[in-house]
Amino acid sequence: MIEVLFFARVRETLDLARLALELAEPTTVGALKAQLAARGANWQALFAERPVLAAVNQELALPEVDRDR
Amino acid sequence: MTDDVRILTTTLDPAALTTELVNDRAHSQGALVTFVGMVRDLTANPVSAMQLEHYPGMTEKSLAAIIGRARARWPLGRALIAHRVGMLHPGEPIVFVGVTGSHRREAFAACEFLMDYLKTEAPFWKKEFTPDGERWVEAKPSDGEAAQRWRAAQQQQQ
């Protein structure tokens, strides 16, 4: 299981600060973003609008970074 | 040699931090360079207040990592980064970066380096309150270009 934290504009748009996700298999930041964008219209708009920065284990991460790096 | 990263929820006092670095540096360090960033008051774009949010834990780690990278490039004495979070008003200091070194050249360079990377890699988010409402301020592309400049300079040296 992973825990996804949301900040600032993203948190306010979604009205959500954290989300626990069960993953069937290891994923990447890019795949996770795509998975989140599929959750609904406001999620999709959020990721389509502007780039969303991501960090894995508190380190800035590029889209191809593995979850367990 | 103490590395300092301080996240402040109350007033940032640049004079006190400067005095601390002057008094606490080793005697071989003849240079101290400081940078103070303040909330701007632009008449064309009035901002009555701003709220600074951060990711506790990651903020401290990323700033310490940036200081570590500066140390790998220049011989430094003290390096101190202090950053405000919470509500701020125009004119208030928001960030302080202070670096001591044996000579001015490395202190100037390291201070600018720390600010450039702080702007691109530390997890701070700024929300501005204006007469037209609230808005989140996205990172400016020019901030990323500033950090990119240091990477290019290093590749040339190698």
* pLDDT tens by residue, B98-154: 999 999 999 999 999 999 999 988 999 999 998 889 989 876 666 777 777 888 877
Size of interface A-B (CB pairs under 8 A): 28
Helix (H, G, I), strand (E, B) or coil at B118: helix
Inter-chain CB proximity A7 and B55 less than 8 Å: yes
pLDDT tens-digit series, residues B30-88: 999 999 999 987 767 788 899 999 999 999 999 999 999 999 999 999 999 999 999 99
B123 DSSP β-pair partners:
none
Given a cut of 60, is residue B157 above it in pLDDT? Answer: yes
Distances in Å between the alpha carbon of A59 and those of B14, B31, B63, B65, B136? 29, 32, 11, 10, 22
Chain B closest CA to A26's CA: distance in Å?
Answer: 23
Containing B66, the helix (H) or strand (E) segment is: helix B58-73
The pLDDT value given to residue B26: 82
Yes or no, beta carbons of B57 and A55 under 8 Å apart = no
- Where does residue B14 rank: exposed (0-12), middle (13-18), buried (19+ CB within 10 A)? middle
- For A50, the closest of B57, B121, B138 (CB atoms) is B138
How high is the pLDDT of residue A35? 92
Of the candidates B53, B61, B125, which has its C-beta nearest A58's C-beta? B61
Residue matched to tokens 């003849």: B30
Nearest CB among A7, A50, A60 relative to B53 is that of: A7
Q: Cα–Cα distances in Å, from B55 out to A6, B74, B122, B123, B135?
A: 10, 28, 9, 6, 19
Here the tokens at position A41 are 């219209």
Computed over every residue of chain B, the mean pLDDT equals 90
Confidence of residue A52 (pLDDT cuts 50, 70, 90): confident
Residue pLDDT, tens place only, A12-47: 999 999 999 998 888 999 999 999 999 999 999 988
How close B38 gets to chain A, by Cα (Å)?
21
* Whether this model's pTM surpasses 0.90: no
What is the reported pLDDT for A65?
A: 64
- ipTM of predicted complex: 0.82
